[in-house]
């Protein structure tokens, strides 16, 4: 990913420290000790339609900071500019302000100042509005590498990591909430690799604990009750390929020990057999849990965690990359049009409404709602198809859109609508955290099981798993 923040300082040690802290925040940083070279880089970036969003400028250079700031603003007035100085008089601060500086910081506590600037940069870089060219470039890159739709910088970062990690042989751990597309990213790692074997997926949380070992390693006939024939395990099926272990945090501790041994030795032994089979399998694991916290609680082995987490990929939730909602929504509508041979459209107003929703179930929930709206709509899918998705952060706008007294709801109607909306988000988030298991979701809400199910049905939410 191209650097979107530039730092200009004649102190190379300070630039090195700044670059290190920005790398920790996953914000690419371009650094220059020469202000003229930096200005040329800013001009070239703007001409190439990939402008810098922030410039960090040291005041105490041969060309004073306020002069550099003025030159930057002449090239690109939209760049957010920050001035740093070890000592800055009130007169010098005024010069910087008049030149167009957005912030001025002193260097007394360098690390704290850089971290503060990094947080501001994170907002500018990750949540700033992309240009049309940037959106198109991100969209093409994400589609090529991930097979997903979107143009956010956060999703483009995932695509960058997949492209770098695909050809490596090390294990990958994908983290992110349920419904963000972890399996699709795992498939992309395999598809972009040179491994000749199959991509095999297994959900560790969807199989009985008694059968997980057999599913992974296979078994011989008569190894246990019900084993009526020899069975090849997923490791052998994925030989020379990729094995995707979804919901790895659900794996029992005793099986974690056996998995660790397979990763160390590169060989499996089927249940009920003494025959050793060598395997060459790349592991891609995924979880929506905080595995380090599970390690601290004693629910997950620390040595296995570090075996799996060699190359980490985190997929941000849809609530943190709402700019991906529009391309996803339009792609689903186009897909349904191709399937049904009908030409339906979704309005910009409807998409604006979708972007105001929290989507605790992420892409999976968004896709389900759009498919339902597509089925019920005639030719145009407008905001009326999503009337129960009143944006929680835009209630005032919902009221302001009412143009005549006849449309104004009673107090009870309005409160009921907002309450139902928030209750829907609450109950759906519980189901997400419980991996779709109704009983576990009910426990999280501290509601009786039957009450929880009744509320979901009343609000039109999907049932989830019965266990």
Four-way CATH pick for 166-314: 3.40.367.20, 3.30.499.10, 3.30.420.10, 3.40.50.300: 3.40.50.300
For the segment 221-240, what is each residue's pLDDT rounded down to a tens digit? 766 777 778 888 899 999 99
Within the chain, which residue ranges are assigned CATH 3.40.50.300? 166-314
Contact 329, 358 (CB under 8 A): no
Q: Is 432 left (phi over 0), alpha (psi -120 to 50) or beta?
A: alpha
DSSP 464: -
Lowest mean pLDDT among 174-183, 304-313, 413-422: 413-422
| Residue 162: band (very low, low, confident or very high) from pLDDT cuts 50, 70, 90 | very high
Instruction: Please classify residue 81 by burial: count the beta carbons closer than 10 Å to its beta carbon, then call 0-12 exposed, 13-18 middle and 19+ buried.
Output: buried
3-state SS, residue 80: strand
Mean pLDDT of 70-81: 86
Share of the chain above pLDDT 70, in %: 88
DSSP 65: H
The string of DSSP codes covering 198-234 is: -EEEEETTSS-HHHHHHHHHEE-TTSSTT--S-EE-H
Q: What is the pLDDT of residue 467?
A: 40
The string of DSSP codes covering 158-176 is: HHHHHHHHTT--S-EEEE-
Non-local (6+) Cβ contacts of 217 within 8 A are 233, 235, 258, 262, 268, 269, 270, 271
Average pLDDT, the chain: 83
The topology under which CATH files domain 320-458 is Helicase, Ruva Protein; domain 3 (1.10.8)
| Residue 465: band (very low, low, confident or very high) from pLDDT cuts 50, 70, 90 | very low
3-state SS, residue 128: coil
Dist CA 66 CA 430 (whole Å):
52
Non-local (6+) Cβ contacts of 167 within 8 A are 192, 193, 194
Distances (CA, A) of 467 to 28, 188, 360, 439, 440: 45, 31, 21, 6, 8
Phi, psi of 314 (to 5 degrees): -110, 130
> Higher pLDDT residue, 332 or 402?
332
Within the chain, which residue ranges are assigned CATH 1.10.8.60? 320-458
| CATH superfamily ID and name for 5-128 | Response regulator (3.40.50.2300)
Contact 99, 69 (CB under 8 A): yes
């Amino acid at each position: 990913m191209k650097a979107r923040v530039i730092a200009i300082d004649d102190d190379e040690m300070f630039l090195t420290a700044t670059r290190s802290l920005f790398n920790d925040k996953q914000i690419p940083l371009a650094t220059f000790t020469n202000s003229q070279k930096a200005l040329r880089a800013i001009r070239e970036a703007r001409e190439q339609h990939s402008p810098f969003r922030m410039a960090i400028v040291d005041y105490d250079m041969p060309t004073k900071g306020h002069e550099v700031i003025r030159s930057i603003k002449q090239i690109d007035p939209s760049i957010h500019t920050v001035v740093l100085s070890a000592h800055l008089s009130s007169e010098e601060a005024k010069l910087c302000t008049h030149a167009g500086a957005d912030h001025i910081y002193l260097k007394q506590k360098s690390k704290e100042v850089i971290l503060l600037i990094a947080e501001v940069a994170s907002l500018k870089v990750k949540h700033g509005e992309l240009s049309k060219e940037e959106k198109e470039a991100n969209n093409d890159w994400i589609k090529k590498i991930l097979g997903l739709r979107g143009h956010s910088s956060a999703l483009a970062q995932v695509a960058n990591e997949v492209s770098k990690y695909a050809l490596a042989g090390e294990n990958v751990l994908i983290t992110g909430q349920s419904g963000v597309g972890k399996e699709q990213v795992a498939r992309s790692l395999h598809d972009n690799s040179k491994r000749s074997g199959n991509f095999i997926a297994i959900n560790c949380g969807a199989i009985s604990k008694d059968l997980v070992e057999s599913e992974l390693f296979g078994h011989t006939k008569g190894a246990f009750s019900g084993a009526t024939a020899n069975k090849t395990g997923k490791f052998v099926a994925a030989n020379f390929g990729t094995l995707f272990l979804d919901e790895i945090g659900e794996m029992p501790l005793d099986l974690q020990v056996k998995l660790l041994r397979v990763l160390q030795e590169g060989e499996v032994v089927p249940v009920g057999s003494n025959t050793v089979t060598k395997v060459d399998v790349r592991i891609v694991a995924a979880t929506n849990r905080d595995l380090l916290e599970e390690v601290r609680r004693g629910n997950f082995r620390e040595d296995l965690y570090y075996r799996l987490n060699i190359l980490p990929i985190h997929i941000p939730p849809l609530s943190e990359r709402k700019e991906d909602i529009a391309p996803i929504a339009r792609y689903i509508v186009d897909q349904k049009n191709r399937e049904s041979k009908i030409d339906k459209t979704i309005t910009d107003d409807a998409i604006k409404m979708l972007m105001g929703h929290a989507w605790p179930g992420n892409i999976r929930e968004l896709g389900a709602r759009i498919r339902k709206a597509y089925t019920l709509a005639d030719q145009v899918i407008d905001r009326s198809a999503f009337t129960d998705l009143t944006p929680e952060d835009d209630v005032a706008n919902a009221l302001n859109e009412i143009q005549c007294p006849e449309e104004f709801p009673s107090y009870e109607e309005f409160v009921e609508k907002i309450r139902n909306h928030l209750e829907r988000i609450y109950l759906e988030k519980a189901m997400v955290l419980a991996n779709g298991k109704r009983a576990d979701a009910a426990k999280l809400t501290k509601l009786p099981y039957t009450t929880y199910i009744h509320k979901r049905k009343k609000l039109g939410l999907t049932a989830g798993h019965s266990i």
